Amino acid sequence: MTQLLIIGLDGATFDLIEPWANDLPNLAGLMRRGAWGRLRSTVPPVTFPAWTSFMTGVNPGQHGVFDFTRRVPGTYRVEFVNATHRRRPTLWRILSDAGCHVGVMGVPATYPPEHLNGFQISGFDAPVAVGIDRSFVHPPELYDEVRRAVGEYRTTDFQEVRIGPGWHRAATRSLLDVLAVKQDIAAYLLQKEPWDCFMVLFGEADTVSHHFWLYHDPASPRHDPAGAQEFGDAIRTVYRRLDEAVGALLALAPDAHVLIASDHGFGGAGDKAVYLNRRLAECGLLHFQRQSITNVGAGAARRLALRLPAGAQERLFRLAGPWAGALESRNRFAGIDWAGTRAFSEEQNTCPGVWINRRDREPLGIVAPDAYEATRDAVIEALLTWRDPVTGQSVVAQARRREAVYQGPFVSEASDVVVELALDAGYSYAVQGSGGRPGPSLRVLAPHEYLGAKGSGMNGTHRPDGVLLLAGPQVRAGIVLHSANIIDAAPTALHLLGLSVPSYMDGRVLVEALTVDRPVVDIEMSLPDAASPASYSPAEEAIVAARLRALGYLEDE
């Protein structure tokens, strides 16, 4: 049977791969002998929904994963998403059920691992602070075997609250060390385990781009020429090392088809922060209440906890999980006067949507059901008429009803208005939390905020177009793909492996890239009833929150 090797390069972009092609011989070679093109991500282009769409072949309205968190129905509370929130089967579940041997390693949003005909090592979203434990792995005894034979599987975990002298130097070393360990483990499993489809994901291109873009890009509003003398080549160094890893893994599977993909692209962040709730307040759609001693004290306690060393943070979160989990929700909705609020945002940089404070849905909702559409109209107008006072340009590129963006039975779990921010001269605005306080809806960052420590946004941010490379015996050479979408990966993989494509999948087989002469076969597949998600315990939620914050995916007020 045909084998398929999938390598995920989280956050990789052709904006860097193409100009660096001479330094990336393995990726450049795949582009010459296969098909390649930009891979359109989900809206928003963020890790959890994007990789979930990659592995299921459907849009978030079908699989139900829209961000790292989800609103708990009927509350002003959030919980952290895990694999049990995914409502559609993965590519490897389908392959496993068809009798194929599969291996999956390091893909986000896959904890807890599936019981497959093969093995799985879950991604970084499991409730431990650093590295992994046996709960990440199926079968669990594989965890001990890998530790003995190769070493400890590690995940990159940076503390961003205190970015000071020496931080970037240590971060670079850590990125390269962790990458090498993951390559060694993948190589061991590729040779030791039988497989028809094997996927390994490397997250280092994403992490280095988040933190080192201001050194790499001399046009960035945050550019640091002095720091660039030492760190200006850090992103390129990581890309070179990833290219070496790709070459080493390809050498272990010389006859396999290869699919290389990223979940989104990358670009620079500008020097301006925006506050969605303050914009809604300017337009009379949201009211803030007076700051209470409780809210101020909670914010101070939260900031103090985040300044503890990583080990101390973990111990605190395990001991005080319920308190810490409640604090995360309070941080998003603090200071909102619900009695005077028709619309509100969680103000998350990863998923900047707006919710309507509906009377029939929210605990303190005031918008009647028959006023819902008019309120959404008002929100969309408020966002589309928002202008940057410095440039006069639009702050928001698109503000759309959720059903205009997503399709499927779980659209109702998305925010009522989906927001896509404009670029400011090619650079992203940083979405920050209002912290329950009125103020300007846009401000220019101070130079000390440029690095992207907590509260100022990271200096590199996601872009909608990721990468896709296909190569192998049934792939045309030299084909440039012009309309590939991340939902196309799963049906294309199934077709390459000789299986039918489930008719519920939104994606299509990229037939223009293939020499396969057999027709695409759609089959009706009965979907299992959606089980109730297995939420993390409060302590686990708090630890996942700490991890995501340390990686820069959650912002502080």
DSSP 8-state code for residue 151: -
**Stretch among 117-131, 369-383, 422-436 having the lowest mean pLDDT:** 117-131
Confidence of residue 300 (pLDDT cuts 50, 70, 90): low
What is the predicted pLDDT for the residue at 457? 84
More confident call, 555 vs 207: 207
Percent of the chain residues topping a pLDDT of 90? 75
pLDDT over threshold 80, residue 42: yes
What is the predicted pLDDT for the residue at 531? 63
What is the predicted pLDDT for the residue at 557? 46
Going by C-beta distance under 8 Å and a sequence separation of 6 or more, which residues neighbour residue 230?
Answer: 168, 169, 215
Confidence of residue 318 (pLDDT cuts 50, 70, 90): low
Taking alpha carbons only, the member of 499, 501, 511 closest to residue 475 is 511
Query: Mean pLDDT, to the nearest integer, of 480-492?
Result: 97
What is the predicted pLDDT for the residue at 294? 47
Question: Per-residue DSSP letters for 90-148?
Answer: -HHHHHHHTT--EEEEEETT-PSPP--SEEEEE-TTSS-SSS--GGGEESTHHHHHHHH
HSE of 229, CA atoms in CB hemisphere, 13 A: 2
Q: How far is it, in rounded angstroms, from Cα 442 to Cα 444?
A: 7
Where do we find the tokens 């070393």?
173
Query: Mean pLDDT, to the nearest integer, of 544-556?
Result: 67
Query: Mean pLDDT, to the nearest integer, of 382-401?
Result: 98
pLDDT over threshold 60, residue 322: no
Report how far apart, in Å, the C-alpha atoms of 163 and of each of 71, 169, 268 are. Answer: 31, 11, 19
What is the predicted pLDDT for the residue at 160? 56
Structure tokens at 403: 């059903």
User: 518, exposed or middle or buried, with CB in 10 Å at 0-12, 13-18, 19+?
Assistant: exposed
User: 117, exposed or middle or buried, with CB in 10 Å at 0-12, 13-18, 19+?
Assistant: middle
pLDDT over threshold 80, residue 155: no
Where do we find the tokens 């200006």?
232
**Amino acid making up residue 496:** L
Q: How far is it, in rounded angstroms, from Cα 158 to Cα 458?
A: 13
Query: Mean pLDDT, to the nearest integer, of 401-425?
Result: 98
Check: CB of residue 84 under 8 Å from CB of residue 70: no
**Stretch among 46-60, 153-167, 488-502 having the lowest mean pLDDT:** 153-167
Q: Find the length of the chain.
A: 557
Q: How far is it, in rounded angstroms, from Cα 456 to Cα 430?
A: 7
More confident call, 537 vs 217: 217
pLDDT over threshold 50, residue 328: yes
Mean pLDDT of the chain: 90
Neighbours of 355 (CB within 10 A): 20
Q: How far is it, in rounded angstroms, from Cα 278 to Cα 284?
A: 10
**Stretch among 124-133, 406-415, 441-450 having the lowest mean pLDDT:** 124-133
Neighbours of 159 (CB within 10 A): 19
- pTM for the model: 0.93
Ordered by start, the domain boundaries in the chain are 4-40+88-268+463-467+482-503, 269-458+538-550
Question: Per-residue DSSP letters for 451-495?
Answer: T--TTS--SEEEESEEEEEEESTTB-TTEEEEEEEGGGHHHHHHH
**Stretch among 111-120, 164-173, 206-215, 470-479 having the lowest mean pLDDT:** 164-173
What is the predicted pLDDT for the residue at 315? 55
pLDDT over threshold 60, residue 323: no
Which CATH fold would you assign to the domain 4-40+88-268+463-467+482-503?
Alkaline Phosphatase, subunit A (3.40.720)
What is the predicted pLDDT for the residue at 271? 96
What is the predicted pLDDT for the residue at 181? 94
